Amino acid sequence: MTIHDFMAKVAAKNQGEPEFLQAVKEVVETVWDAYISNPRFVKANILERIVEPERTIIFRVPWMDDKGEVHVQRGYRVQFNSAIGPYKGGLRFHPSVNLSILKFLGFEQIFKNSLTTLPMGGGKGGSDFDAKGKSDAEIMRFCQAFMSELFRHIGPNTDVPAGDIGVGGREIGYLFGMYKKLSNEFTGVLTGKGRNWGGSLIRPEATGFGAVYFAEEMLKTQGKSFDGLRVALSGFGNVAWGAAQKISELGGKVVTISGPDGYILDEEGISGDKIDYLLELRASNNDRVCDYADVYPNSKFFPGKRPWEVKVDVAMPCATQNELDLNDAKALVANACICIAEGANMPCTPEAVEIFINNKILFAPGKAANAGGVATSGLEMTQNSMRFGWSRDEVDARLHEIMKNIHEACATNGKQADGFVNYVKGANIAGFLKVANAMCDMGVV
Ligand code: NDP
Ligand code: 2IT
């Protein structure tokens, strides 16, 4: 069997799922040698088993809007792999959600969760619900309707969902409330919970903080730090917010954020109260970033454009998949950008990644760089099991340590003969080996 034959078989079985095939191809190409040279893996047919979700649940979600009109969305939960722990991964509510996107996210989650060293399998779910323009009551009713089916498929030792695009603290509250009512149990079945009802300190900031900690480790390998560097962020959601905080704290200057409508360039730096304003912008359910320029008139809005044309030292895409393409990558390289760390999941296209690696630029894939979010979800699960809560500093110190360890695992498995670290290869191999060995240990199930 060659990589080509293997991918042809996967493509034939998963037609009309481009994002899923994109994610599988990257993993298969980078782990192939480690796989094929291990007779135990090959005998157990691990690679073909690992690209097939253990279970996929698709369900109808009917809900009523404020005018009394009834709408129907589609709900999903892809329970991808439970070899090293209960399924774990976020819920995404966005009109673009389909099976391909959730399978790509669930597949990536297997390796990401493995890298955290915590006992969590991989899963992802969500719905094609569009929160834009919806009232709080409509969002509550939708979350309740979604959970009225999902609750029978999840549990603290079975599957533990969390947030992702369109699902933040407010939605987790409504989802948890409905789960608690239906199951008659107060349990750690979701993460990203509010602080007063089982949540962990630092979880809201964790993905952004973790991505910056990871980038900091990469910069250190070149004797550099964030101090004095210019940074481009995309998105203006949870991940971008956390990253902006930590970058400012470390002395870096965030000069861009973006939305589906274009990007903001703020040469004075996005720090202090401007970071708090991001929360307001996000909570407005307005789907646009341009309002920032009205509030901070010294900044400039570039409609329909992406921030990657701005000259920066570090770029951190924190919005969505495939938001940084070949031309964007070429522009960053031409502007002497030294480090790209993916806060979002798969934001760089394969062609963009190839440009970064060929130019020997520090490039961190999402499954390594953004693993701090799910790692802190894992820490939330630990605290729920202990019926105890750690302090902010304790959680932050554990998160920091986990990100340093993931960086180390990537460096060990991805170092080339010339010393350059291919973090894509390193992350995929390190994440894969643990899950593959666990699957072998458990027999053909
Ligand atoms: P949020 O919903 O909080 O924010 C998403 C942000 O991206 C919003 O500002 C959104 O704007 C913007 N956005 C959406 N589509 C586009 C687009 N086409 N161009 C530019 N901006 C866009 O989600 P998160 O911050 O939680 O998630 C962002 C990314 O990080 C996703 O890829 C997610 O999978 C990943 N991630 C999230 C983790 C978490 O813990 N939350 C953990 C690890 C990864 P708008 O709402 O206006 O569309
Ligand atoms: O993509 C991700 O890792 C997340 N959205 C967070 C998942 C989680 O379970 O905290």
Q: Running DSSP on this structure, what letter comes out for residue 361?
A: -
pLDDT in the model for residue 283: 85
Active-site residue set: 124
Q: Which residues of 345-377 are buried (b: 16+ CB within 10 A; e: fewer)?
A: bbbbbeebbebbbeeebbbbbbbbbbbbbbbbb
Q: Whose CA is nearest to atom 46 of ligand 1?
A: 287
pLDDT in the model for residue 284: 83
What is the Cα–Cα distance from 309 to 29, expressed in whole angstroms?
30
Q: Which atom of ligand 2 is nearest to the CA of 112?
A: 3
Report yes or no: 427 and 111 within 8 Å, Cβ to Cβ: yes
Beta carbons within 10 angstroms of residue 34's beta carbon: 17
pLDDT in the model for residue 1: 87
pTM for the full model? 0.97
Beta carbons within 10 angstroms of residue 154's beta carbon: 24
Cα of 122 vs centre of ligand 2, distance in Å, is: 10
Q: State whether the beta carbon of 236 lies less than 6 angstroms from ligand 1.
A: yes
Out of 104, 129, 164, give the residue to mutate to test ligand 1, the one with the largest number of ligand atoms within 8 Å of its CB: 164
Cα 167-168-171 angle, rounded to 5 deg: 70
Sequence spans of domains, the chain: 3-186, 206-364
Q: State whether the beta carbon of 323 lies less than 6 angstroms from ligand 1.
A: yes
CATH of domain 3-186: 3.40.50.10860
Q: Which atom of ligand 2 is nearest to the CA of 88?
A: 9
pLDDT per residue as tens, the chain (445 positions)? 899 999 999 999 999 999 999 999 999 999 999 999 999 999 999 999 999 999 999 999 999 999 999 999 999 999 999 999 999 999 999 999 999 999 999 999 999 999 999 999 999 999 999 999 999 999 999 999 999 999 999 999 999 999 999 999 999 999 999 999 999 999 999 999 999 999 999 999 999 999 999 999 999 999 999 999 999 999 999 999 999 999 999 999 999 999 999 999 999 999 999 999 999 998 887 789 999 999 999 999 999 999 999 999 999 999 999 999 999 999 999 999 999 999 999 999 999 999 999 999 999 999 999 999 999 999 999 999 999 999 999 999 999 999 999 999 999 999 999 999 999 999 999 999 999 999 999 999 9
Cα of 106 vs centre of ligand 2, distance in Å, is: 10
pLDDT in the model for residue 286: 79
Cβ-Cβ contacts under 8 Å for 206 (sequence gap 6 or more): 242, 372, 373, 375, 376, 377, 399
Tokens 């004075």 appear where?
A: 268
206-364: CATH, from 3.40.50.720, 3.40.50.2300, 3.10.580.10, 1.20.1420.30: 3.40.50.720
What is the Cα–Cα distance from 62 to 167, expressed in whole angstroms?
18
Q: Which atom of ligand 1 is nearest to the CA of 192?
A: 40
